[in-house]
């Protein structure tokens, strides 16, 4: 199996000795034909029965479905005459965005196709479908938030500890999934600050999600809040894989990500950066490879 659009990888794998390939997102019919072909192939060899014709028939059908699938997956930008030449940076961003939506949507459609074909009383498939839509929603939200984070800022009195607790409730399941230990070092008497609570929530949500993603199972994440006469500090530290030196200067750049395609738009930290700047704050990043990373947000208490 290989991801969307990586036919080259598949062909390379075949050269190295794989028997066949399926490109994700596959359609169920394609998968079943390929599987039956190889299972039969094996029994043919065993029983020495000549099923060659039947296999060839199937081969033809698979090729037909694969080429139909390929056509369906191709993106056309119009014909030669009116082809728009985009800079490679835009093309890369378009690819990242496309992949981000194609992956969960094809998973969604995979479940849906199964339900259409077989029906199922089991509600767990519907729950999984709902979760894949959540991923799409998160990506859309990130895009929208990123494109207008400077507009519509509403300053009000916010309690940082409460916002972090809200974020932690939202991601509780993810902590449990990876068995990550959470250490809260909140200053109890932290004063309210004037800030946009939605934006601060979004920034902290992205920082915590990132920390979880880059922390191994059974790892540790600590969150600290403190203040002095003029500033508010929020520090999120993980003991995950850390950030390579050459990437440290890039991680705040929009659409930069070290995650594999389809696992994130690369907007999280640039959203964080925008939010902090909207609040006249700064962000400090300390990281050591294989030891972990620390993100320190410093916001002035009065704007």
Partner 1 sequence: MKEEKILVIDDDDDILKITQLNLEKLGYRVLLSRNGDDGFQKIQMVKPDLVITDFMVPKMSGIEIFKKDKRKIS
Please report, as ranges, the residues that interact with partner 1 according to CB under 8 A. 1-3, 6, 9-10, 13, 16-18, 22, 24, 28, 31-32, 35-36, 38-39, 42, 45, 107, 110-111, 114, 117-118, 125, 128, 132, 260
> Which residue number, 1 or 183, has a Cβ lying nearer to partner 1?
1
Cβ partners under 8 Å of residue 2, min gap 6:
9, 10, 13, 21, 22, 23, 24
Q: What is the DSSP letter of 40?
A: H
The 10 Å Cβ neighbour count of residue 38 is: 13
> Which residue number, 128 or 286, has a Cβ lying nearer to partner 1?
128
Please state the closest distance from residue 286 (CB atom) to partner 1, in A. Answer: 27
283 neighbors 224 (Cβ within 8 angstroms): no
d(CA 71, CA 79): 16
Residue whose tokens read 């929603």: 137
Q: Where are the extended beta strands (E) located within 217-271?
A: 220-227, 231-238
Residue 108 corresponds to which tokens in the numbers above? 């969604």
Please state the closest distance from residue 31 (CB atom) to partner 1, in A. Answer: 6
Residue 24 corresponds to which tokens in the numbers above? 């994700």
> Which residue number, 22 or 251, has a Cβ lying nearer to partner 1?
22
Calculate helix-pair angle for 88-118, 28-47, nearest 10 degrees. Answer: 70
Please state the closest distance from residue 265 (CB atom) to partner 1, in A. Answer: 18
> Which residue number, 262 or 281, has a Cβ lying nearer to partner 1?
262
Please state the closest distance from residue 186 (CB atom) to partner 1, in A. Answer: 33
d(CA 293, CA 277): 21
Q: Where are the extended beta strands (E) located within the chain?
A: 156-158, 181-186, 193-195, 220-227, 231-238, 282-288, 292-300
Please state the closest distance from residue 202 (CB atom) to partner 1, in A. Answer: 26
> Which residue number, 18 or 64, has a Cβ lying nearer to partner 1?
18
Strands 282-288 and 220-227: unpaired
Torsion sign, CA atoms 176, 139, 152, 279: positive
d(CA 6, CA 22): 10
> Which residue number, 104 or 281, has a Cβ lying nearer to partner 1?
104
Please state the closest distance from residue 116 (CB atom) to partner 1, in A. Answer: 12
> Which residue number, 72 or 118, has a Cβ lying nearer to partner 1?
118
> Which residue number, 51 or 252, has a Cβ lying nearer to partner 1?
51
Please state the closest distance from residue 161 (CB atom) to partner 1, in A. Answer: 33
Please state the closest distance from residue 3 (CB atom) to partner 1, in A. Answer: 8
d(CA 303, CA 300): 6
């Amino acid at each position: 199996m290989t991801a969307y659009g990586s036919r080259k990888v598949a062909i390379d794998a075949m050269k190295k000795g794989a028997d066949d390939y399926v490109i994700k997102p596959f359609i169920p019919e394609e998968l079943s034909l390929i599987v039956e072909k190889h299972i039969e192939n094996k029994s043919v060899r065993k029983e020495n029965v000549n099923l060659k014709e039947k296999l060839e028939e199937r081969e033809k059908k698979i090729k037909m479905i694969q080429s139909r699938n390929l056509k369906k997956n191709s993106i056309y930008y119009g014909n030669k005459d009116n082809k728009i030449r985009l800079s490679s940076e835009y093309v890369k961003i378009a690819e990242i965005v496309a992949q981000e939506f194609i992956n969960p949507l094809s998973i969604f459609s995979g479940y849906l196709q199964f339900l259409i074909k077989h029906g199922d009383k089991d509600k767990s498939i519907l729950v999984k479908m709902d979760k894949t839509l959540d991923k799409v929603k998160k990506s859309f939200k990130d895009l929208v938030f990123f494109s207008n984070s400077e507009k519509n800022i509403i300053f009000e009195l916010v309690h940082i500890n409460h916002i972090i607790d809200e974020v932690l409730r939202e991601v509780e399941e993810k902590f449990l999934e990876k068995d990550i230990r959470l250490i809260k070092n909140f200053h109890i008497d932290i004063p309210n600050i004037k800030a946009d609570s939605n934006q601060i929530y979004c920034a902290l949500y992205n920082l915590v999600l990132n920390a979880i993603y880059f922390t191994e199972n059974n790892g540790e994440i600590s969150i600290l809040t403190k203040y002095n006469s003029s500033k508010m500090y929020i520090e999120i530290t993980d003991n995950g894989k850390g950030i390579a030196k050459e990437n440290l200067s890039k991680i705040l750049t929009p659409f930069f990500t070290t995650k594999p395609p389809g696992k994130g738009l690369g907007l999280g930290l640039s959203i964080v950066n925008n939010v902090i700047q909207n609040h006249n704050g700064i962000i400090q990043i300390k990281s050591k490879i294989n030891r972990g990373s620390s993100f320190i947000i410093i916001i002035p208490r009065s704007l």
